[in-house]
Amino acid sequence: MCSLAEEQGFETFRHAYRAAIKEVRTKIEILSEDFAVRHDYNPIHHMERRLKSPDSIEEKLERYGKEISIASAKENILDIAGIRVVCNFIDDVYAIADMLMEQNDIELVTKKDYIKNPKENGYRSLHLVLSVPVFLLNGCENVPVEVQIRTVAMDFWASLEHQLRYKKGKTLPKKVDCELKACAESSASLDVRMQRLFDEIYKSD
């Protein structure tokens, strides 16, 4: 059986997801700039984008017990294309999400709010899967893009937690797990305090 990357049409398949990332990223940049013009404040700290590698797509399909094919990847994996939006404050996260979902050519596929309902390990972020139309030579195709929106503090914790957890490739001791979750709680508390300070400074004018 050939690998996913060797299947005919794979580069065309990947191109649609790259194009979808550009579409959503451009929308976010325009919305952010418009917000900054209207409110004299930019809610976005920075953005990152990611396109899953062929090996990563194959691994996920195998984990799901699905066929390794382009058609199967399209049907079963919603995060082949991904954008991470890192915001300054908690309210900014929901403002960006609302602005995106108000776009009349974007369809919300799934929404998972790990800020209001953190994962067991303390992870926090707002995950949206958005279906965006991509216009190619053979017509229009709706392509899913996962958008993760989080604060600087949430991103700081998630990045370092991932590095610590997967650096050694083995299960961490319970004590370390507890420490990491405690750090997540401290980070969340700091986020709330910083939001309160922002509100006092900017919303009192």
Residue 2, C-beta contacts closer than 8 angstroms, at least 6 positions apart: none
How far from 12 is each of 4, 26, 75, 163, CA to CA, in Å? Answer: 12, 21, 16, 33
Task: Return the SS3 of 112.
Answer: strand
End-to-end CA distance of the chain: 65
Reply yes or no on whether 67 is catalytic: no
- From 7, 58, 146, 161, active-site residue: 146
With 0-12 / 13-18 / 19 or more C-beta atoms within 10 angstroms meaning exposed / middle / buried, residue 147 is: buried
Catalytic residues: 146
